[in-house]
Amino acid sequence: MATRNIPVLLLVCLRLSGIALLCILWEVLPRSGLVNPTFFPPLSAVLQEIAALLRDQHLLGHTIATLWRVVAGIVLAALLAVPAGAILGYWLPGLAAGLNPLFRILAQVNPFSLMTVFLLFFGIGEKAKLIIVAWVAFWPLLHHVIGGVQNIDADLLKAARSMGTSPSRLFLRIILPGAAPSILLGVRTSIILLLAILVAGEMLGGLAGLGWLLHWSSNYYSSPYATTPIFAVGLCISLIGVALSAVLRKLERDLFFWKPLESAWSAAPTPRTLRSRPNRIFAVTVLSAMLLLLVAGGASTSRLSRTNGSFSGEGDVPQPSASGHSGHMSHEHSLPAAGQSGHSGHTAPSASPVQSGHP
């Protein structure tokens, strides 16, 4: 049955049925006892933990820090990859063909294997994280820019050259707009990998970002579900990745309205209503949000780093417990008295009965 023959409401229900089934199983299985709820908490408990992180533990600030690094790294990669791809694809196609095997090898290098090298040369500050993101985004962007430039209509380029167009004007008016769909496709295909690599880098070093918060949550248990903070931060990271991909697909649909959008479920292009001009309202909104994020995100990241990721009403980053339990974390301020609940329903890790290696 063709998709266009299905009512819109029924089509939406079909597309959301898998997510609804996953949410139901996530809630029912831990509460029924089929899985251990201590280590696999129900969805409702995870959502409550997300609300607690938003209210008390700077989840929004850490999210802004991660998004700022993603956007700044992609912008840095684009500033390097777009001119290089245009030069190799249009002015030096022979060199591009000769270097193509090397580019493919460098693109296939596991970023995790290079992460320690970047941290060794550039430290654990913001410079290393931005370079890691730029490295991961550079190679897909370069590949798509070269392909996009080489696929530009040759007659259009000949007409521009015959009119005496300067190289700079040719790049800005012909090559860059012609390769723009390929550039956006390169960003969209690498955005999930970028987020995963950045989260891993934040876990290795730094005091701000979702990766740091995920590392902190692995040492900070809640009651009665020990791993609720881990699932809460992980769910936030997954939702951010889905949202970024959806925003880029929306940009692709609005700006490049003449280009068929490939379906994720079949080889056939997704049908769309053709328009005579692009819809720039959403693009302007996204660009404004990116500029605001670049300006405000750096300040938010610096503030969280200066305070060591401190939480309102609590001390700084959990420090090693004074009781001598190495490898576990506790807050600088004194713990609540016996029988009193900790901050946001949490208990100190040193008092948790689920920590391995301690009775």
Q: How many CA atoms lie within 13 A of 234 on its CB side?
A: 12
Mean pLDDT value across residues 35-39: 85
CA torsion 202→204→206→210, rounded to 10°? 30
Domains of the chain and CATH, by start: 58-254 (1.10.3720.10)
Mean pLDDT value across residues 233-255: 89
Rounded to whole angstroms, the Cα distance separating 166 from 33 reads: 71
Residue 348 near residue 330, CB atoms below 8 Å: yes
Rounded to whole angstroms, the Cα distance separating 261 from 249 reads: 9
Q: 246-261: string of b/e by CB count within 10 Å (b at 16+)?
A: ebbeebbbbbebeeee
Distances from the Cα of 61 to the Cα of 14, 143, 209, 212, 344, angstroms: 35, 34, 8, 12, 18
Per-residue pLDDT tens digits for 39-94: 889 999 999 989 988 887 788 888 998 999 999 989 999 999 999 999 999 989 89
Rounded to whole angstroms, the Cα distance separating 71 from 290 reads: 7
Q: Transcribe 19-34 into DSSP letters.
A: HHHHHHHHHHHHHHTS
273: left (phi over 0), alpha (psi -120 to 50) or beta: beta
Pairwise pLDDT comparison (346 vs 32), residue with the higher score: 32
Pairwise pLDDT comparison (330 vs 88), residue with the higher score: 88
Q: Where does the pLDDT of residue 23 fall: very low under 50, low under 70, confident under 90, or very high at 90 and above?
A: very high
The whole model's pTM is what?
A: 0.75
Q: Which residues contact 258 (CB under 8 A, 6 or more apart)?
A: 274
Q: Where does the pLDDT of residue 111 fall: very low under 50, low under 70, confident under 90, or very high at 90 and above?
A: confident
Overall size of the chain counted in residues? 359
The most confident of 56-60, 74-78, 294-298, 336-340, by mean pLDDT? 74-78
Give the pLDDT of residue 214.
Answer: 87
Q: 265-296: string of b/e by CB count within 10 Å (b at 16+)?
A: eeeeeeeeeeeeeeeeeeeeeeeeebeebeee
Q: What is the mean pLDDT of the chain?
A: 77
Q: Where do we find the tokens 């199983």? A: 25
